[in-house]
Structure 1
Amino acid sequence: MTLSAPAMSLKDKLHAYIQLTRFDKPVGIELLLWPTLWGVMLAAMSAAQSEGLSAGLPALKILTIFALGAIFMRAAGCAINDFADRKVDGFVTRTKGRPLADGRLSGKEAVGAFVVLSLISASLLFFLPVSVFYWSLGAVALAFIYPFMKRYTHLPQVFLAAAFGWAIPMAYVAIAGAPDIWCWLLFMAYMCWTVAYDTQYAMADRADDLQVGIKSTAILFGRFDIVMIALLQTAFLLLMGVVMWHYFVPTSLSVAPVFGLALVAMMFAKQNRACATQMPMACFRAFLDNVWVGRYLFVVIAMVCVWSTFSAT
């Protein structure tokens, strides 16, 4: 006669759900949150400029809704990611302790968490124009399919970037009425940055991924991984420079915010020196350092938007 495993306590179950949704690892939340808020701030600038004003700020309600949406959708994406990877995470050193891999949660529980978190995010749409709802369907679809793409393509990082970045056009729809060319340039900049840092993340797991058959840009780029990351980071800097030039040069601060991107370039150089060692932990730490890029650029964008708005009054 075999004994069944003891039932988990409520505390242990809650801890497993926190690990499933990565609320214990806020870096991932920030990597989605800060660029979402870039989009909200710049969408308000776009709306103001369309009305003949030099600058404008978003309503606090809009900032709060998009911040909460980013947090909940990131958690939902983690849940469905672990569901997709439940049969391989146990063979990867870094992920073998995840709650689906070690049996603390079931696949049904992970899907349930994805649905609940997606519904919570969807409830926030009641406070936004109905047109934002239709755009949000793209975000949900991308968040759901991304984890499965690593079975079929070496470009799952592109799907992740699109899923994370979809909040940017949603912000423009909510605030400015529709995306414009500057919205899409910001979206493309974010795509380049996300593919770059998620390639660093994939470099940390490359040996295990090759063994279990998971595809990634780290595997696709091979010995050119650092070169490709640097090119993507350069594209990000150029696109962000163009967007910031458009919004901020007409303000009283002129080109100063654009030159602020030099600090981001130095951050990227430090990351690439670490990744050049090809050591998994060095690559993972480089990935984590990207949170400072998001924080820094949010501070720059927010400060310039506030300064420009109040100096114009």
Structure 2
Amino acid sequence: MRERINLYLALIRWNRPAGWLLLLWPTLSALWIAAHGFPGWHLLVVFTLGTILMRSAGCCVNDVADREFDKHVKRTAERPVTSGRVSVREALVLGAALALLAFGLVLTTNETTIAWSFTALAIAIVYPYAKRFVSMPQAVLGVAFSFGIPMAFAAVQSRVPLLAWVLLLGNLFWVLAYDTEYAMVDRDDDLKIGMKTSAITLGRADVAVVMASYGAYLCIWCLALADRLPLAVLAVTAAAAAAQALWHFTMIRDRTHEGCFRAFRLNHWLGFTVFLGVVVGYASR
């Protein structure tokens, strides 16, 4: 039993919290923005646990969808489903159970959030298969990983205003940046197996597009929040986040596997920086 539990924990990447932190920080930022400050413990718990559960469920679906491809990629060949230690049925049952738990949390909010949750689930299921047909599947992932933003507004305001979609657009550029860094790690293997990724599509423009995407993310969020946060707080937050993006450039410019993977893993700190700026900004108003 202990061995099975360890395999299930490996399947949902329990030992790699950076994955769900990348989803959590923009979602919590949206909660604070929608509520003009602290959103209350109920919504904070619902969206924190819901983010962890849905990311875990997404890992199950992703590993089932990619199991034949992952066999040919050194970094993923030993994943539980790919290696056969966890069956496809087990992975799908676990993923469905986690998604149902997340839906149970959504049921404690309101009808608007419940309605949008079905769209979020559909996008999460579609993404793993987009890599077969879309030359920039990271854009699809960007929508999936950013959908906590409109759901946060729905939970607080019972509607999804234009601001939520602007923030989603900005966050999509951040996802494009860090997931392209991730794709750069596996580019050689993905070329051999015919997988489509932004790192392959962009070619030698990959680093430039990653940095431009960081810039677009920060610019869109700063413009969207310019009349909602004190300018001093916004400026310090943007400067700190931009400094991290420049640090990432030093890690990815040579396109080494180690540097690109390290840059990807550290991205959650950039998201935390923006979240902290939002929290401080509303607290100081």
Report the Cα distance in structure 1 between the residues aligned to 2:62 and 2:231, rounded to whole angstroms: 43
Corresponding residue SS for 2:55? helix
Which residue identity is paired with 2:268? V
Q: Report what 1:74 is aligned to.
A: 55
CA distance in 1, matches of 2:251, 2:128: 27
Q: Which amino acid aligns with 1:14?
A: I
Conservation of the 8 A alpha-carbon contact between 2:113 and 2:158: no
Q: Determine the structure 1 residue equivalent to 2:12.
A: 21
**Is contact 1:245-1:255 (8 Å) kept?**
no
Separation of aligned partners in 1, 2:127 and 2:62: 8
Distance in 1 separating the partners of 2:195 and 2:20:
24
What SS is found at the alignment partner of 1:247? coil
Residue 86 of structure 1 contacts residue 107 of structure 1 at CA under 8 Å; is this kept in 2?
Answer: no
* Secondary structure in structure 2 of the residue aligned to 1:168: helix
Which amino acid counterpart does residue 293 of structure 1 have in structure 2? L
Greater Cα offset, 297-306 or 73-82: 297-306
Q: Equivalents in 2 of 1:97, 1:116: separation in Å?
A: 24
Question: How far apart in 1 are the matches of 2:235 and 2:95?
Answer: 39
What are the Cα deviations for residues 85-141 of structure 1, in whole angstroms up to 9, with x where unaligned?
111212101111100111110111111111111100100122101111110011100
> Is the radius of gyration larger for structure 1 or structure 2?
1
RMSD of aligned Cα (Å): 1.1
8 A Cα contact 2:237 2:273, kept in partner: no
Instruction: Give the aligned residue type for 1:267.
Output: Q
Does residue 256 (structure 1) correspond to residue 233 (structure 2)? The answer is yes
Distance 1:57 1:234 in 2: 28
Structure 2 residue corresponding to 1:148, chosen from 129, 154, 161: 129
State yes or no: 1:89 paired with 2:70.
yes
The residue aligned with 2:26 is: 35
Q: 1:277 maps to what in 2?
A: 254
CA contact (8 A) 2:199 2:206 kept: yes
From 302, 306, 311, the counterpart of 2:279: 302
* Structure 2 length-normalised TM: 0.97
Tell me the residue number matched to 2:35. 44
Distance in 1 of aligned mates of 2:81 and 2:59: 12
Match of 2:223 in 1: 242
- How is 1:287-298 mapped onto 2 (pairs within 5 angstroms)? 287-298=264-275
1:117 is paired with a residue whose SS is helix
- Which residue of structure 2 aligns with residue 215 of structure 1? 196
Question: How many angstroms does 1:217 deviate by?
Answer: 0.4
Instruction: Please name the residue that 2:150 is paired with.
Output: 169
Counterpart-to-counterpart distance in 2, 1:212 and 1:246: 48
Mapped contact 2:166–2:220 kept (Cα < 8 A) = yes
* Contact 2:142–2:176 (8 Å) recurs in 1: yes
Asked whether the equivalents of residues 32 and 39 of structure 2 are also in contact (C-alpha less than 8 Å), the reply is yes
Q: Is the 8 Å Cα contact of residues 244 and 258 (structure 1) preserved in structure 2?
A: no
What secondary structure does 1:88 align onto? helix
* Partners of 1:146 and 1:103 in 2: CA distance: 23
Aligned pair partner of 1:122 in 87, 94, 103: 103
Q: Is residue 187 of structure 1 aligned with residue 168 of structure 2?
A: yes
Deviations 1:163-207 (A, max 9, x none): 111110011111122122221111111100001100000000000
Distance (Å, rounded) in 1 between the aligned partners of 2:145 and 2:241: 20
- Aligned-partner residue type, residue 43 of structure 1: A
Aligned AA (2:281): V
Gaps of 5+ in 1: 1-9, 46-55, 309-313
Displacement after TM superposition at 1:256 (Å): 2.9
1:259 Cα deviation (Å)?
3.6
CA distance in 2, matches of 1:272, 1:297: 19
Alignment of 1:130-145 (within 5 A): 130-145=111-126
Are positions 1:63 and 2:54 aligned together?
no
**Alignment partners' CA distance in 1, 2:191 and 2:2:** 36
Instruction: Give distance in 1, aligned partners of 2:113 and 2:157.
Output: 11
Identity percentage of aligned residues = 35
In structure 2, what residue type is equivalent to 1:24? N
The residue type paired with residue 84 of structure 1 is A
Cα distance in 2 between the residues matched to 1:116 and 1:191:
28
